[in-house]
Amino acid sequence: MKRVFSLLLLVLAACNTTPERRLNEALPGQPVVATASPTLTPAPASSSSASPSASTPAAPASAQPSLPPSPTASVAPLEVLKQGSFRNAVHVVSGKALLVKSEGKVYLRLEDFSTENGPDLYLYLVRNPSGSPKGDADFVTLGRLKGTSGNQNYELPAGTDTAAFQSATVWCQAFSVNFGYAELK
């Protein structure tokens, strides 16, 4: 049974299917930034020769033709409207929440984000600073949480009055629980 479980974990890892996903999502018009992640690389083959003189010498390096410099991509200006750091409510949540405008659209961007996992997590914009909605008219649902860690972007519905909202909240709909929130200033 233990072997089957280990094999299942290996298959899930190969398919990038885990309970907790790490995202590094760029905004439209912004450059994608590569992040370091562990990779598997084969170990160099070891020589079985008894003497160092039996090894083959390295081939001389050939000159590579130089390539013309690539054109620089234009980056859309990014306007930060409001921002705040996440605070714990019922669970541990960390990172930053930013309301940003890019290419005429408004997004709630989570940076260096991390939260404990839950059964039914959503991201809300809430009208009060405590992050707990008082009624249906008190919040806007931005959708299911895309992952439990990493940088993420959520497009706001067109016409959303960002001045009316004071916090971003990770909300568990199944249990009506505020996991954590960021007061937006």
Q: Which domains does the chain have, with CATH numbers?
A: 78-183 (2.60.40.200)
Residue type, 41: T
* H or E, element range at 80: strand 78-88
Mean pLDDT of 156-174: 96
The pLDDT of residue 58 is 46
Mean pLDDT of 132-146: 91
The pLDDT of residue 85 is 98
- Percentages helix, strand, coil for the chain (3-state, rounded to 5) are 10, 35, 50
Cβ contact 55:49 at 8 Å? yes
| Mean pLDDT lowest among 3-12, 90-99, 154-163, 164-173 | 3-12
Does position 4 have pLDDT exceeding 60, yes or no?
no
The pLDDT of residue 79 is 95
Mean pLDDT of 7-12: 37
Query: How distant, in Å, are the alpha carbons of 50, 64, 71, 140, 167 from that of 27?
Result: 56, 35, 20, 20, 20
**Percent of the chain scored above 90 by pLDDT?**
53
- In this prediction, residue 124 has a pLDDT band, given cuts at 50, 70 and 90, of very high
33 vs 9, higher pLDDT: 33
Give the contacts of 181 (CB within 8 A, at least 6 positions apart). Answer: 86, 87, 89, 93, 126, 130, 131, 132, 167, 168, 169, 170
Distance of CA 133 to the CA centre of its chain: 25
The pLDDT of residue 46 is 36
Over residues 94-122, the pLDDT tens digits come to 999 999 999 999 999 999 999 999 999 99
Cβ contact 173:122 at 8 Å? yes
Q: Rounded CA gap, 112 and 96, in Å? A: 7
71 vs 159, higher pLDDT: 159
Q: Rounded CA gap, 98 and 168, in Å? A: 9
CB-CB neighbours of 94 under 10 Å: 15
134 vs 68, higher pLDDT: 134
> Rounded mean pLDDT of the chain?
75
Over residues 25-45, the pLDDT tens digits come to 667 666 554 444 333 333 333
Q: Rounded CA gap, 173 and 42, in Å? A: 45
